[in-house]
């Protein structure tokens, strides 16, 4: 490999292959690049006969994993195929698939998603006579998850110093765990915790894994939690301790999900005797973007100070845009994007970032109006749709008959005459006889309180599921799914239950999307593709917020700042730069939370390579009322000489005013203007690399808003 494409500290990080290594550096300094180059270097050098399968690279999302894998194969050829690149959760799932039976789970375990978890916790609460309308089950789950990730069990005197929720979490924890296990399920946290248990309790497994993974590399290390650190320490507990972690303490943005910034700050304690490398040159952004990012993050106390510089001096100024309303803000963004795309910027080099998913809707609408293709990397919204959940529940039950949550979800969907009373009685029998619900159903005929007709229907359903279990074993997942849905009449049922044509179409489209995704999966995995591996993959993907919407690749990306980690775009629109959104209103109280919001702001800004827009609206409609909005405090930290301010203070309705027309005419003119080099420039013309000559703002439009 050509090491000349790295700067001296990057090179040092790449060639120091033995012993622990930490690369702590700011955004865009080439940390991820160090990881890929280090892997290629290892494949080239093959210390002690190293094979590709001896290398494990851990990324933060599945998407990042597949991109890294692609990159590796591109750089090192097919020999990189066997490097294991995945997230901690996917790694854990892989380990469990082989060895979970040693902990008493069935080999074909399933992964409970948030809906399944909620169903289980509700049941556990009800059993203890805790009202799930008074106490939010999700909050209880949150506390349980937090405790599990910290390697503990929920305490009655937890964080809230013994408020009701701590007590409830403590009370239902055991029932929750038992119920998961009885169903042959694990939750997401178990994907980290159970592998650690396997390694701790079984020496042969510890030997197997520590001798297999001789080099471990971890990206985004600042966002690892205690459970992940534990697993990593165990994996590195053999003879070789070649753990290379890269990260940036300023980009720790998942502490709400248990990330521990001290994992990176005290790296030397967990992996002693290693080396630390700092990278200071930023290759991603212009100096203007970098200066703005640095100015924002500098306000956080207790950080490891970093001196970042960029060779890309100058750059176009940051556009700080104030719009009267959310719709105007969205229209402005779409208008600008349309201009940039017309000017030659590829759509996939443009991103719209926001703090919360809900902010995407007006932008989506505005982009649609302009016929611009976009892709929303949203949360699990798609998988929350009822029809998708139903189909997935069929899959889960077919793969794992003990999955009671899925069974109860679809036993009578579409309606097949098996009522609630029948199921309640069967659940009671299952509990009394200490068998699974599926097991109790198999004995339906022998229960006296079950009418013969009901028992027959229950048994028929079981035979259907078993028949399909066999069909799926021969592959052709998509094909078999089509058959299954046809046989149970799911599509007709879904259609007849919806009131409007449009929503029926949407439902059918979602189902087709699931079938398509099965097809893609089969193509990718080849003969290895099974319903179970598909399901595991699916649960991991929805968790990581990144299943791609149907559509092609050349699209504008809309996503939350959380999801934008590690990515870069030539142009970034960071919308909703207002108090209550950025920083988010729930996060303004405690200093700690505010620091995390500031880090989020830093992450958002540092995604931009050339052009950055920070937009806000002066007013938003909340529950039918117009509420005035204050600009984000973070805007105040950006030195004024780096920004150009634009106030779209135009009437909201009616035809464009003279002022508006004038503004857009000017805008057009402006981008026809020839380029001149040097210095801090107002903005880049569509498609143009590098700085453009200073051009004054259209009269009457640029005004101080900060
Ligand atoms: P983040 O903190 O956002 O994850 P990072 O530190 O991982 O950023 P990379 O994504 O690895 O940074 O690199 C940022 C950009 O800089 C990439 O486009 C990368 O290809 C480029 N880059 C990094 N190092 C060099 C180098 N030595 N020469 C040229 N380009 C580089
Ligand atoms: Mg990175």
Query: Does 10 contact ligand 1 (Cβ within 6 A)?
Result: yes
Per-residue confidence (pLDDT) for residue 229, from 0 to 100: 96
In sequence order, what are the residues at sequence separation of 6 or more whose Cβ sits closer than 8 angstroms to the Cβ of residue 206? 199, 200, 234, 237, 238
Domain count, the chain: 4
Task: Point out the catalytic residue in the list 251, 316, 405, 481.
Answer: 251
Where are the alpha helices (H) located in 404-530, listed in sequence order? Answer: 404-410, 420-433, 437-442, 452-473, 477-488, 490-496, 501-525
Atom 24 of ligand 1, residue of closest alpha carbon? 30
705 within domain boundaries: no
Dihedral class, residue 314 (left if φ above 0, else alpha if ψ from -120 to 50, else beta) = left
Q: What is the per-residue pLDDT across 670-698, written as a single tens digit (0 to 9) for each?
A: 444 333 334 454 444 343 333 332 222 23
Could you report the per-residue pLDDT of 350-361, keeping only the tens digit for each? 999 999 988 988
Q: Determine the Cα–Cα distance for residues 127 and 220; give it in Å rounded to an integer.
A: 41
pLDDT at 586: 75
417 and 555 inside one domain: no
Residue 5 Cβ < 6 Å to ligand 1: yes
Catalytic residue among 10, 32, 226, 286: 32
Ligand 2 center to 565 CA (angstroms): 7
Lowest mean pLDDT among 379-393, 506-520, 594-608, 648-662: 648-662
Q: What is the DSSP letter of 533?
A: H
Higher pLDDT, 662 or 601: 601
Q: Which two tokens stand for residue 97?
A: 């698939």
Domain end residue (candidates: 541, 562, 584): 541
Give me ligand 1 centre to Cα 249, in Å. Answer: 17
Return residues with CB closer than 5 A to ligand 2 (ion). Answer: 31-32, 566
Token pair of 425 as six digits = 């009685």
Identify the domain boundary among 129, 162, 183: 183
Which of 454-468, 502-516, 604-618 is least confident? 502-516
**Coil, strand or helix at 135:** coil
Clarify whether residues 419 and 482 are in a common domain: yes
Express each pLDDT in 404-449 by its tens digit. Answer: 989 999 999 999 999 989 999 999 999 899 899 999 999 999 999 9
Lookup: tokens for 367: 């982009």
Q: Which long-range contacts (CB under 8 A, 24 or more apart) does 331-334 make?
A: 331/366, 332/615, 332/648, 333/363, 333/366, 333/573, 333/575, 333/613, 333/615, 334/363, 334/366, 334/367, 334/369, 334/370, 334/372
Cα 220 to middle of ligand 2, angstroms: 7
Binding site membership of 566 for ligand 1 (Cβ less than 6 Å): yes
Same domain, 224 and 245: yes
| 31 flagged as catalytic | yes
Same domain, 95 and 208: yes
Distance (angstroms) between ligand 2 centre and the Cα of 342 equals: 30
Spatial contact of 316 and 691, defined as CB atoms under 8 Å apart: yes
CA distance 87 to 242: 18
Same-domain check for residues 232 and 259: yes
How far is residue 593's CA from residue 600's CA, in Å, rounded to a whole number? 11
Q: Does residue 683 lie in a domain region?
A: no
Annotated binding site for ATP: 25-32
Q: For residue 175, what is the domain's CATH number?
A: 1.10.10
Please write the tens of the pLDDT for every residue from 262-277.
Answer: 999 999 999 999 999 9
pLDDT of residue 541: 64
pLDDT of the residue at 691: 31
Q: What pLDDT score was predicted for residue 665?
A: 54
> Do residues 170 and 197 share a domain?
no
Domain region containing 207? 8-100+191-279
Active site residue 94: no
Residue 30 Cα to ligand 2 middle (Å): 7
Q: Which ligand is nearest to the CA of 11?
A: 1
Crossing angle for the helix pair 164-182 and 114-127, to the nearest 10 degrees: 110
Q: What is the DSSP letter of 607?
A: T
Is residue 283 within 6 Å of ligand 1 at its C-beta? yes
> How much of the chain exceeds pLDDT 90, in percent?
62
DSSP state of 438: H
End position of a domain, from candidates 492, 523, 541 = 541
382 band by pLDDT with thresholds 50, 70 and 90: low
Give me ligand 2 centre to Cα 57, in Å.
13
Active-site entry in 10, 31, 148, 331: 31
Ligand 1 near 608 CB (within 6 A): no
Report which of residues 158 and 304 the model is more confident about: 304
For the chain, the C-alpha Rg in angstroms (whole number) is: 27
Residues 520 and 409 in one domain: yes
- Buried b or exposed e, range 79-112, using 16+ CB within 10 angstroms: ebeebbbbbbbbbbbebbeebbeebebeebbbbb
In-domain check, residue 76:
yes
State the residue for tokens 């939350």: 560
Q: How far, in Å, CA of 11 to CA of 248, rounded?
A: 18
Task: Considering every ligand atom shown, identify the ligand nearest to the alpha carbon of residue 283 and give its number.
Answer: 1
Query: Tokens in use for 318?
Result: 């940051």
Q: Is the peptide bond before 583 cis (omega within 30 degrees of 0)?
A: yes
Which member of 113, 116, 189, 220 is catalytic? Answer: 220
Contacts of 438 (CB under 8 A, 6+ apart): 401, 402, 404, 407, 462
Q: Evaluate whether residue 207 is within a structural domain.
A: yes
Which ligand 1 atom sits nearest the alpha carbon of residue 603?
A: 3
Q: Report CA(679)–ligand 2 centroid distance (Å).
A: 28
Rounded Cα distance between 314 and 258, Å, is 38
Which CATH number does the domain housing residue 238 bear?
A: 3.40.50.300
Q: What pLDDT score does 702 carry?
A: 30
Structural domain contains residue 654 = no
| 442 contact partners, CB below 8 Å, separation of at least 6 | 459, 462
Please tell me if the CB atom of residue 7 comes closer than 6 angstroms to any atom of ligand 1. yes
pTM recorded for the entire structure = 0.80
CA atoms of 355 and 544, how far apart (whole Å): 16
Averaged pLDDT score across all residues of the chain: 86
Q: Is 32 a catalytic residue?
A: yes
Q: What is the mean pLDDT of residues 548-555?
A: 54
Question: What does the DSSP 8-state code read for residue 348?
Answer: G
The span from the CA of 229 to the CA of 193, in Å, is 11
Bridge partners for 215 per DSSP: 55, 242
- The pLDDT of residue 291 is above 80: yes
- The DSSP bridge pattern shows strands 608-622 and 625-628 to be antiparallel
278 contacts: CB under 8 Å, gap ≥ 6 = 9, 23, 24, 25, 306
With a cut of 60, say whether residue 320 has pLDDT above it: yes
The whole-number pLDDT of residue 557 equals 93
> Does residue 6's CB lie within 6 angstroms of at least one atom of ligand 1?
yes
Tell me whether residue 287 is in a domain: no
Q: Which of 1-10, 556-565, 657-666 has the lowest mean pLDDT?
A: 657-666
Counts of helices then strands in the chain (DSSP H, E): 26, 20
Measured N-to-C along each axis, helices 501-525 and 477-488 cross at an angle, to the nearest 10 degrees, of: 150
Pocket test for ligand 1, best of 1, 9, 14, 32 (most atoms within 8 A of CB): 32
Tens digits of residue pLDDT in 184-213 = 999 999 999 999 999 999 999 999 999 999
Ligand 1 neighbourhood includes 248 CB (under 6 angstroms) = yes
Cβ–ligand 1 distance for 249 under 6 Å, the answer no
Q: Which long-range contacts (CB under 8 A, 24 or more apart) does 664-669 make?
A: 664/335, 666/698, 666/701, 667/339, 667/698
Q: Is the domain of 434 the same as that of 532?
A: yes
- Ligand 1 centroid – CA 658 distance (Å): 45
Q: What's the pLDDT score for residue 161?
A: 55
Q: Is 9 in the pocket of ligand 1 (CB under 6 A)?
A: no
Q: Is 220 a catalytic residue?
A: yes
Pocket test for ligand 1, best of 244, 282, 284, 311 (most atoms within 8 A of CB): 284
Contact 124, 139 (CB under 8 A): no
Q: Which of 40, 37, 88, 86 is nearest to 65 (CA)?
A: 86
The reply to whether 2 falls in a domain is no
Residue 299 lies in a domain: no
- Domain identity same for 438 and 493: yes
- The ipTM value here is 0.99
536 lies in the same domain as 562: no
Contact 144, 188 (CB under 8 A): no
Please, are residues 441 and 427 in contact by the beta-carbon 8 Å criterion?
no
Same-domain check for residues 486 and 504: yes
92 and 47, same domain (yes or no) = yes
Q: Which of 24-33, 291-300, 542-551, 661-670 shows the lowest per-residue confidence on average (mean pLDDT)?
A: 542-551
Q: Which residue among the candidates 189, 219, 336, 595 is catalytic per the annotation?
A: 219
């Amino acid at each position: 490999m050509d090491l000349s494409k790295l700067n001296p500290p990057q090179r040092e990080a790449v060639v120091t292959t033995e012993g622990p290594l930490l690369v702590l550096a700011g955004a865009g300094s080439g940390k991820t690049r160090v990881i890929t180059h280090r892997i290629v270097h290892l494949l080239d050098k093959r210390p002690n006969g190293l094979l590709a399968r001896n290398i494990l690279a851990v990324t933060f999302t599945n998407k990042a994993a597949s991109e890294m894998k692609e990159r590796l194969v591109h750089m090192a050829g097919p020999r990189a195929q066997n490097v294991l690149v995945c997230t901690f959760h996917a790694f854990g799932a892989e380990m469990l698939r082989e060895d979970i039976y040693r902990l008493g789970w069935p080999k074909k375990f399933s992964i409970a998603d948030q809906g399944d978890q909620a169903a289980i916790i509700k049941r556990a609460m009800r059993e203890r006579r805790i009202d799930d309308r008074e106490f939010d089950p999700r909050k209880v789950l949150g506390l349980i998850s937090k405790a599990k990730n910290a390697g503990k069990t929920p305490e009655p005197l937890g964080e809230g110093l013994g408020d009701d929720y701590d007590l409830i979490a403590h009370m239902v924890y055991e029932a929750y765990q038992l119920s998961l296990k009885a169903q042959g399920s694990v939750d997401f946290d178990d994907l980290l915790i159970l592998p650690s248990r396997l390694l701790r309790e079984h020496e042969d497994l510890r030997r197997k894994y520590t001798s297999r993974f001789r080099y471990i590399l971890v990206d985004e290390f600042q966002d690892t939690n205690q459970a992940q650190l534990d697993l990593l320490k165990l994996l590195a507990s053999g003879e070789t301790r070649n753990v290379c972690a890269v990260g940036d303490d300023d980009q720790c943005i998942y502490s709400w999900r248990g990330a521990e910034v001290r994992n990176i700050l005290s790296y030397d304690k967990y992996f002693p005797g290693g080396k630390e490398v700092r990278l200071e040159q930023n290759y991603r952004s212009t100096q203007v973007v970098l200066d703005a990012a640095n100015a924002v993050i500098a306000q956080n106390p207790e950080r490891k100070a970093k001196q970042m510089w960029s060779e890309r001096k100058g750059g176009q100024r940051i556009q700080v845009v104030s719009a009267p309303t959310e719709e105007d803000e969205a229209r402005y963004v779409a208008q600008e994007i349309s201009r940039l795309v017309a000017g030659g910027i590829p759509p996939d080099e443009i991103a719209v970032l926001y703090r919360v998913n809900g902010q995407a809707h007006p932008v989506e609408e505005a982009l649609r109006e302009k016929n611009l293709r976009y892709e929303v990397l949203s949360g699990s919204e798609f998988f929350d749709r009822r029809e998708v959940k139903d189909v997935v529940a069929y899959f889960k039950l077919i793969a794992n008959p003990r999955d009671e949550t899925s069974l109860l979800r679809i036993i009578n969907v579409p309606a097949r005459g098996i009522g609630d009373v029948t199921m309640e009685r069967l659940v009671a029998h299952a509990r009394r006889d200490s068998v699974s619900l599926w097991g109790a159903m198999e004995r339906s005929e022998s229960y006296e309180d079950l009418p013969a007709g009901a028992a027959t229907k229950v048994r028929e359903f079981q035979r259907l599921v078993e028949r399909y279990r066999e069909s799926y074993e021969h592959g052709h997942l998509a094909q078999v799914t089509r058959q299954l849905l046809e046989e149970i009449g799911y599509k007709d049922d879904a259609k007849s239950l919806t009131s409007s044509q449009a929503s029926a179409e949407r439902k059918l489209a979602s189902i087709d999307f699931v079938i398509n995704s099965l097809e893609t999966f089969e193509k990718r995995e080849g003969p290895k593709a099974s319903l179970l591996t598909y399901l595991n993959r699916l649960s991991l993907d929805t968790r990581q917020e990144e299943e791609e919407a149907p559509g092609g690749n050349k699209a504008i990306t809309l996503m939350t700042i959380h999801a934008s980690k590690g990515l870069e775009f030539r142009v970034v629109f960071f919308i909703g730069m207002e108090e209550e959104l950025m920083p988010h209103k729930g996060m303004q109280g405690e200093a700690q939370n505010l620091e995390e919001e500031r880090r989020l702001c830093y992450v958002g800004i540092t995604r931009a390579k050339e052009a950055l827009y920070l937009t806000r609206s002066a007013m938003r409609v909340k529950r039918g009322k117009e509420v005035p909005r204050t600009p984000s405090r973070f805007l105040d930290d950006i030195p004024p000489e780096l920004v150009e301010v634009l106030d779209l203070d135009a009437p909201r309705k009616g035809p464009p005013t003279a002022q508006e027309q004038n503004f857009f005419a000017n805008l057009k003119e402006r981008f026809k203007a020839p380029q001149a080099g040097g210095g801090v420039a107002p903005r880049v013309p569509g498609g143009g690399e590098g700085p453009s000559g200073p051009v004054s703002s259209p009269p009457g439009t640029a005004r101080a808003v900060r």
